Amino acid sequence: MARVILGVGAGIAAYKACELLRRLREAGHRVRVIPTPDALRFVGAPTWEALSGEPVATGVWTDVDEVPHVRLGQGADLIIVAPATADLLARAAAGMAPDLLTNTLLTARCPVVFAPAMHTEMWEHPATRANVETLRSRGVTVVDPAVGRLTGKDSGAGRLPEPATLYEIADQALSSGTDLRSSLASRRVLISAGGTREELDPVRFLGNWSTGRQGYAFARAAAARGAEVTLVAANVELPDPPGVKVVPVVSAREMHAAMLAEAVSADVIVMTAAVADYRPVTRSEEKIKKDAGPLDPIELTENPDILAGLSARRASDGPDGQVIVGFAAETDTDPGAAKAKLARKGCDFLVVNEVGNGLGFGAVDNEAVVLGSDGSRVPIPRGSKDELADAVLGLAAARIN
C-alpha cells in the first residue's frame, strides 16, 4: 500500500480522475485527493470524499493544527496531478503556492507526475513549453497529452490520457522509487525494439519472433524516470507508450539509419531489437511463383551490426558520457561467449538473457545477467520485463551520473 496524492486541476477532464482514483483504491493504495478550489466547479468534494474515503480540502486554512500543507507532501509516496491545467503547470514551475495542492507540491520529495489537459494552443504556447521543460529538468514526469477530440468541436493534442493509462504511469512511478526518479531527468534515451524483416518479395520476408515487449518496457521505464524517450520500433503491434516518440521501421538497414540519426544526441542507447543478421541479396519485385520452375537458393548478405557501429562511432565522435546497452539472447548461457560478445560490440553493458524455457521472446517474464565493460556482473532475478528494464536503466543512470 502506498500513500498517493491525487491532485486535480480545474479542467473538464476532472471527471476522468474519478476513475483513476477508483483504480488506485482498488490496487490497495491510500489516496488523498487535493483539488484546486476551481476544480470543485467540475467535480464536487462529496464525490472525492466518497470515492477516496478521506477528507477533502483545497486551502491551507483547514485543520491548521495538523499543518496539512507540509505534512501531506512529506508523507506521500507519489503525487499525480490529473488533469493539470496550463495555469497549474505555470504555478508549479514557478514554485508558487496559493492553495493546498501547490503547497503540497513544494514539500513533496516523492515522484511527481503531471498529466496535462488543455486546448492545443495552450499546450503549444511557448510559456507552457518552457514550464514543462522546467518541471522535467527537475525530475518531474510530465506526460504528453493524448491527441483527439477536445472540449467543444476542436480536436488536437491536449486530451487527458485515459484513466487506465494514467494508472499504469502512476504504478510505474511508484515502483521506480524516490531516489532514482530524477536520475534520467532531461536525459535523452534511445531504444530499439521489435524484430526487423528482410523482404524476399512483396509478400514474404525473413523475420523473427520478437514482439517488442522488452523494448516498450524500457521506453515506459525511461519515461517514468523523466527521460525524453525515442523508440525505434521494427514491426511491433503494441500501443505507443504515452509521451514517447516512436519511429517505425521495417528492415535492419532502416533501423540502422534511424538509430544513427537519433544517436547523435542520446545519453543512453538500449538495443533490445532482434536485428536480422542477413538479408536476401535481391528482393523480387513480383511474388515468387512455384510454377516458375525450381527455386534458386536464396543468396544472403550480411546486415550492418548496428550496436557495434554505434559503439564504434561513439569512440570516434560520439557525445561525452553516452552509455550504450546491448542485449544478447542466448539459448545456452556460456559466460565466455557473452563476455566475448560484450567486447566485440564495444558497449558498456550487455544484458544476457536466456531464451526458451518460458523466458524471452513473447514471454511475460525475463531473467538476466548484466555484464559491464568494467568487469561487473549484476544478476537480475526473474521478474516482469518492466522490472528488468527499470533495473538496467538504474545501472545505466548510475554510469552517466
Site residues, ligand CTP (CB under 6 A)? 252, 271, 273, 275, 277, 303, 305-307, 326-329, 345
Contacts for 304 with CB less than 8 Å, ≥ 6 apart:
252, 253, 256
Please report which helix (H) or strand (E) contains residue 339, including its range.
Answer: helix 335-345
Q: Which residues of 9-19 are buried (b: 16+ CB within 10 A; e: fewer)?
A: bbbebbebbbe
Q: Is 208 a catalytic residue?
A: yes
Q: Which residues of 160-192 are buried (b: 16+ CB within 10 A; e: fewer)?
A: bbebebbbbbbbbbbebeeebbbbbbebbbbbb
Give the cell for residue 230. Answer: 525515442
* Rounded least distance, CB 322 to ligand CTP, Å: 15
- Are 329 and 360 a contacting pair, CB within 8 Å? yes
The span from the first CA to the last CA of the chain, in angstroms, equals 31
Q: Which is nearer to ligand CTP, 19 or 254 (CB)?
A: 254
* Rounded least distance, CB 261 to ligand CTP, Å: 15
Where are the strands (E) in 65-222, listed by range? Answer: 78-84, 112-116, 141-142, 146-149, 155-159, 188-194, 198-201, 204-206
Q: Which is nearer to ligand CTP, 246 or 273 (CB)?
A: 273
- Are 110 and 77 a contacting pair, CB within 8 Å? yes
* Rounded least distance, CB 325 to ligand CTP, Å: 8
Alpha carbon dihedral 363, 2, 96, 39, in 10-degree steps, equals 90
Q: Which is nearer to ligand CTP, 94 or 337 (CB)?
A: 337
* Rounded least distance, CB 179 to ligand CTP, Å: 28
CA distances, 116 to each of 9, 13, 110, 208, 340 (Å) = 9, 10, 19, 38, 47
Q: Which is nearer to ligand CTP, 227 or 350 (CB)?
A: 350
* Rounded least distance, CB 85 to ligand CTP, Å: 42
Please report which helix (H) or strand (E) contains residue 348, including its range.
Answer: none
Q: Which is nearer to ligand CTP, 75 or 207 (CB)?
A: 207
Catalytic-labelled residue, pool 103, 208, 303, 366 = 208
| Packed helices 252-263 and 306-317: angle between N→C axes, nearest 10 degrees | 20
Q: Which is nearer to ligand CTP, 294 or 331 (CB)?
A: 331
* Rounded least distance, CB 87 to ligand CTP, Å: 44
Active site amino acids:
208
